[in-house]
Structure 1
Amino acid sequence: MADNLPSLHSPPSEALEAVDRILQDVLRQYGYQPRRLAQVLRLMAMLLPTVRPEAIAALVLQSMWVYAVDALVDGFAPDLDTRFRRWLEHPLEPNPDDAEHRLFAAMWSHVRSLGTPQGCERWQQALEVFLSAQLREHTPPQSYLDYLDVRVIANGLPSLAALAALLQGELGALDTARTANLVRWGGIFTSLANDLHSYDRELAEGTAATANALGVLMGLAARQGGVLDLVSARGIVQADCDAALHMFDAQLGGSSQWSALDGFIARAVGLVRHGHVV
């Protein structure tokens, strides 16, 4: 049991409506039709409950983009390396036939309007690392640890933490060992919790062998001439998931010592702890 995770509360409806108006305006400018907007907005608003609506809108845009990138990669969309490079090289000149590029442009323009040049540069670097990790997710890992190293980045938490640091004026926290440990353990927990929840779906989609811890463990065992059944793999992953949550909670400590970025990361982990996995 994680004793230090915060309670999560949905903001009042008028606050959500204010964020929704901002999002609709930004997305309309780039001709992007959002999916699951109300659901993502409700969840992301819990992560930054005390900031202005424009900042929550930035978090929603990036979360939608992370989901969109993940769907492209899991769907084995062609030429993703080329597409991703174009997004980064021409962030505000989206290909009209590339809906995800239009979403990227909407996110980029909105975040740039809120952050300092230094903060936006750090944020961009985090996006680049995220995209690189996404491209690596369907390459068979050499080990379980290699899988976790990539998965922790590809799940989006480090790039979302970079955005939260930008929005809350805490860029310096990104360079601390404390933040690195929180993101690492929180990322392992959220990744493995998602893997446990989504294995059957990912197996049907053909992505479980390289993008799900259960499939990775069974595949590694087979490559080494052994056999690991699904029940055993699930037991290993569940134990590692529980251990990661315990380590995260121990690193987090009581809320009296939290920075604003600590609180964001803690609430992100808390969302998954309470069953909000995708």
Structure 2
Amino acid sequence: MLASMELTGSSAIVTGAASGIGAAVARQVAARGATVVVADLQAEKGEALADEIGGVFAQVDVTDTAQVGDAVRVAAEIAPLRAVVNSAGIGWAQRTVGREGTLETAHDLGAFTKVIAINLIGTFDMVRQAATAMSHNEPDADGCRGAIVNLASVAAFDGQIGQAAYSASKGGVVGMTLPVARDLSAAGIRLNTVAPGLIDTPIYGEGEQAEAFKAKLGESVLFPKRLGVPDELASMVVECLTNSYMNGETVRLDGGIRMPPK
């Protein structure tokens, strides 16, 4: 018998849900019957998506622990919170030592700290607060009370020149996957990480020039030679949420790419 965690009649939280990967995940989780709390800083886009999928918008800066807690409370009041996806994140590109060789041109320490605060600490804060709420759920037939998926990046493994902050933050997400899954097993909560490669999101811009750039980028992918689409990534996230035997793992979804130094 194929066991599958049921999302119908539950609530879910997706951070960074107003656009790109997060929006695709929110749509697919809603299609599985969950009421999604669209957690994002972008109110206009977030509210529009929440209306579209029958969810609720919550303005959340993941570095604000009170706002994270508010989103968890909003979700738990709707229905039992059984699914959380941490997609909120930012990038930063800067060499560790500047070309001029001066300390002023070295990597900005504030930027490094901010990337870690959002991508790693913000992710962990949502995990600890959401899992605490989940731990009070009634378990399903498999003893499962909920599932969490964190979004990392192939930069966790193949970080490029200038990606010290971003790779460190995503490497931290990968590194905490197993220990946190082990912690949460006592509460009947599964946790996995998905590490996307080059996914076609608004980050690359729009128009003819952007399309040409994306086509060029796609050539570096092993196969298929293109960027991934958000729905392909969202599909893997939903599988990690609902597949009852998937736990403590990091899955690369990247068309087989291994990023070169630059």
Fold agreement, TM-score > 0.5: no
**TM-score bucket (shorter structure):** 0.3 to 0.5
Higher helix share: 1
TM-score by length of 2: 0.33
Higher strand share: 2
